[in-house]
Homo-oligomer: A and B are copies of this chain.
Amino acid sequence: MTTAEAGDQPDDGEPRTPGRLRRRASRLLSQLTARSDRLINEGLARVDARKWHYAVLASLHEYGPGSQAALSRRTGIYRSDMVGVLNELAERDLVERTPDPADQRRNIVTISAPGRRQLRRLDRVLDDLHDELLAPLNPAERDQLVQLLTRLLDHHTRTP
């Protein structure tokens, strides 16, 4: 544990972030998330994708076709934003949107063969990007982080 206490003193000139600020979990989260988001977005943009694409494709692959509303619930994307995401995916022929014969309000969304291919591709891209994101941590520490974050998110999801 000699590597501990990272980020305490800036070696260069002036800009010293107050300690009270530096160790607030909320600040660490938002600062890190800003960088993480940028990293992921840029990485996905390079293969003409966005993270919502991944979420929808993964959900379709793991749980099969579903209505837009169901996809919203599974992915956490608001159903108002889902429209646009599905438009983008349909443009690229990664999913198909067909009316549900059993319920005329519903569209049934299905993943296509190219969609499955793209999903595998995105999985690899995301693996690489996460390797970059988590570079300073060893595998055990990465697990630890995921565990801690999951527990927190879980708590705040169940207890709104």
A binding-site residues for B, Cβ under 8 Å: 3-4, 6-7, 14-33, 35-37, 39-40, 51, 54-55, 58-59, 61-63, 70, 73-76, 123, 126, 129-130, 133-137, 141-142, 144-157
Give chain A's interface secondary structure class: helix
**Is B151 in contact with A6, judged by CB distance below 8 angstroms?**
yes
Residues in chain B near residue A18, CB distance under 8 A: 55, 58-59, 61-63, 74
**Is B25 in contact with A149, judged by CB distance below 8 angstroms?**
yes
| A95 smallest CB distance to B (angstroms) | 15
Residues in chain B near residue A153, CB distance under 8 A: 7, 28, 31-32, 35
26 A–B contacts, CB within 8 A, in A order = A3-B151, A6-B150, A14-B70, A14-B74, A15-B70, A15-B74, A16-B63, A17-B74, A17-B76, A18-B55, A20-B58, A21-B54, A21-B55, A24-B130, A25-B134, A25-B149, A26-B129, A28-B146, A29-B149, A32-B152, A35-B153, A39-B156, A133-B152, A133-B156, A137-B152, A145-B148
